[in-house]
Amino acid sequence: MSFHITSSGKKLVTLIPGDGIGPEVIQSARRIIEATGAAIEWDEREAGARVFKRGLPSGVPQDTIESIRKTRVVLKGPLETPVGYGEKSANVTLRKLFETYGNIRPVREMPGVPTPYNGRGIDLVVVRENIEDLYAGIEYMQTPGVAEGLKLISRKGCEKIVRLAFEFARSEGRRRVHCATKSNIMKLTEGMLKRTFEEISKEYPDIEASHIIIDNCAHQLVKKPEQFEVIVTTNMNGDIISDLSSALVGGLGFAPSANIGNEVAIFEAVHGSAPKYAGKNVINPTAVILSAVMMLRHLGEFEAADQIENAVLVTLEEGRVRTGDVVGYDQGTSTTTYTDMIISNLGHKSARWRVRQHRPLQLPRVSSRPDLLTPKKRRVVGVDVFLESPQDPEQLGPAFEKIASETPFRLKLISNRGTKVYPAMGAITDCVDHWRCRFVSDRGEQSVSDEQVLNLLQRISAHYTWVHVEKLLEIDGALGFTKDQGED
């Protein structure tokens, strides 16, 4: 990744103060960075609530986008997504606009921060895929009472996040990476991350690679968190377990993060804008300060980064200043006083609490081709037709068998929310008005044509309301679709 160097020889960073408490915590981080003498220059821009209120639905103005395209590095405060105006989250918009596909969230026990886990040596990193999964936000109302969300997982997205996890482990001298998925249930989507992880892990023989089911991972994080070093996972799983993990070490006030892409990196705290505390000078800026430390390392400013991290550790270890989230807001140290103390501790090191040795992170390079995988053979073996109907399976089944008899298809089954209900199995299923009818070809090895699918849909639409269609693929001899509960 290339950085913009100013005429004064400094690295230019886009600075977005953000909403609520954002300007206060960003100012804290900025003061500390400037106190180190790091070669950083700021290009301050807007995003979030004030932009939404001006009528821009994305919350991200064009001049902010142009600044990020120029600097390639962002330090930002939390952004509010107001209720009643605006559209998508401005945070998510920024991540997607610049393909920051990896969200890195370090979780480390901090001195002077009381938790039930003190002394356990928690020091782990959650590496969360940041673009795909259910967070693609592709949703539809299939019937008035049934909503659909598409969970999209790509091989390219999996490969990028897996390689990033291993490279990040190497950059920090870590020796173990866990891949956490729900692939025992979602065998194609979550399973793709598991299969990609197992394949790519062979290229990193110096790092121990293990797969763990995500619910067991959450269980183990509470039971024995010190066993983890790096956890790589899908978007929604990562969102959940990274917040869980931050609670183990004192909460979101100590939770930094980096959104990493091959072209742009955005550094921010995990916490939100906390408007009830805005302007009161009481908020804990540690999460943003540590996010700035990650940014400095990304920029190659390792000495300044180590200075700041050591100063934070010394300040917390001394215990003379504690913010309100630790001791209560009625007696906590002000944001500015806490910042002043960190600045006074620059150049000091703790005898007990150590800063990891870091080396430059090697960003993964994956082919930019959209069709990353090219199978040798593929064919359409059938089609799933989703439809809306108040009828019951005993009425629908014979009707669709008759419709299929006039086509190259046969009705294999009807399911309701993933459970086979026709032909009847004797099960007790509380059905809704959303049915999946699976039609398979009776033409042997010949692939189903689009014309045949359209003909089937025309025949169905003469009597029923279909709402969604999925082709059933066979790719290199393997089925490209899952079976229903109860399907042979």
Given 53, 70, 140, 215, the catalytic residue: 215
Q: Are 358 and 172 in contact (CB under 8 A)?
A: yes
Rounded CA gap, 172 and 309, in Å?
14
Q: How far is CA 417 from CA 144, 148, 291, in A?
A: 15, 11, 42
Rounded CA gap, 40 and 410, in Å?
67
Which residues, at least 6 apart from 172, have a Cβ–Cβ distance to it below 8 Å? 125, 356, 357, 358
* Residue corresponding to tokens 């930094």: 256
Given 11, 76, 182, 194, the catalytic residue: 182
**Catalytic residue check, 484:** no
Computed over its alpha carbons, how large is the radius of gyration of the chain? 26
Rounded CA gap, 235 and 455, in Å?
38
Q: Are 65 and 36 in contact (CB under 8 A)?
A: no
Phi, psi of 273 (to 5 degrees): -85, -10
Rounded CA gap, 354 and 161, in Å?
28
Rounded to the nearest 10 degrees, how much is the dihedral formed by the CA atoms of 115, 117, 119, 123?
-110
**Catalytic residue check, 243:** no
Q: How far is CA 462 from CA 23, 389, 399, 480, in A?
A: 60, 13, 12, 29
Given 19, 133, 239, 306, the catalytic residue: 239
Given 101, 135, 277, 464, the catalytic residue: 135
**Catalytic residue check, 442:** no
> Which of 280, 264, 242, 269 is closest to 77 using CA atoms?
269
Q: Which residues are the active-site residues?
A: 135, 182, 215, 239
